[in-house]
Amino acid sequence: MDENEILEALAENFFQGWDVAPTGGGFLITTDWVFPNNETIEVHVRRVGDRDDLFIVTDGGELINFLFSEGIDATRDPECIGILEGIAQNRSLKIAEHQIVRGAKVEEIAGAVRVVLEAVKEASFSLWPRIKSKPGAPIH
């Protein structure tokens, strides 16, 4: 076995179970990555206007919705906002309209998807202890 065989096996394994579905203005990527409550993380890739060379890669607001469903209003909690902004800034991402966002050219889409996923996963697990410490917190 050589390094190319390992890379091929890793690539096949990492994306096994993922699905890419065309949408009106881009694609919906369903991953096998999950939030702490085992809900699947999805990433949206949307064309910018009528351009075929520029895209927005976003979590579609799933992180904020996940947190809200678990009892944290990330839009009003200053500590939570600080954590999210720090994670986004460390990965050169933006938070816009309650979504984690990155612009990408065609050749940058795969990397942007990975970075958005990493940020969503890090943020959800970083805030999970706050969710679990709330009285009456759901057990998943």
Res 140 pLDDT > 50 = no
- Count of the separate structural domains present in the chain: 1
Confidence grade of residue 29 (pLDDT, cut at 50, 70, 90): very high
- Please indicate, yes or no, if residue 54 is contained in any of the structural domains: yes
- Please indicate, yes or no, if residue 47 is contained in any of the structural domains: yes
Res 134 pLDDT > 70 = no
Q: Averaged over 28-49, what is the pLDDT?
A: 94
Tokens of 125: 């697990």
- Please indicate, yes or no, if residue 126 is contained in any of the structural domains: yes
Q: Give pTM, 2 decimals.
A: 0.86
In terms of average pLDDT, the best of 4-8, 114-118, 134-138 is 114-118
Residue 102 near residue 57, CB atoms below 8 Å:
yes
Higher pLDDT, 16 or 29: 29
pLDDT, position 136: 53
Distances (CA, A) of 124 to 41, 110, 120, 129: 11, 21, 6, 10
Q: CATH number for the domain including 67?
A: 3.30.1460
- Please indicate, yes or no, if residue 138 is contained in any of the structural domains: no
Q: Average pLDDT of the chain?
A: 89
The tens digit of pLDDT for each residue in 40-72 reads 999 999 999 888 889 999 999 999 999 999 888
10: domain range?
A: 3-132
Confidence grade of residue 131 (pLDDT, cut at 50, 70, 90): confident
Q: Averaged over 12-33, what is the pLDDT?
A: 90
- Please indicate, yes or no, if residue 97 is contained in any of the structural domains: yes
End-to-end CA distance of the chain: 41
The tens digit of pLDDT for each residue in 81-93 reads 999 999 999 999 9
Res 109 pLDDT > 70 = yes
Rounded-to-integer distance, Cα 21 and Cα 36, Å? 24
- Please indicate, yes or no, if residue 106 is contained in any of the structural domains: yes
Angle at 131 between CA 124 and CA 41, to 5 degrees: 30
- Please indicate, yes or no, if residue 140 is contained in any of the structural domains: no
Rounded-to-integer distance, Cα 45 and Cα 105, Å? 11
- Please indicate, yes or no, if residue 99 is contained in any of the structural domains: yes
Q: Averaged over 7-27, what is the pLDDT?
A: 88
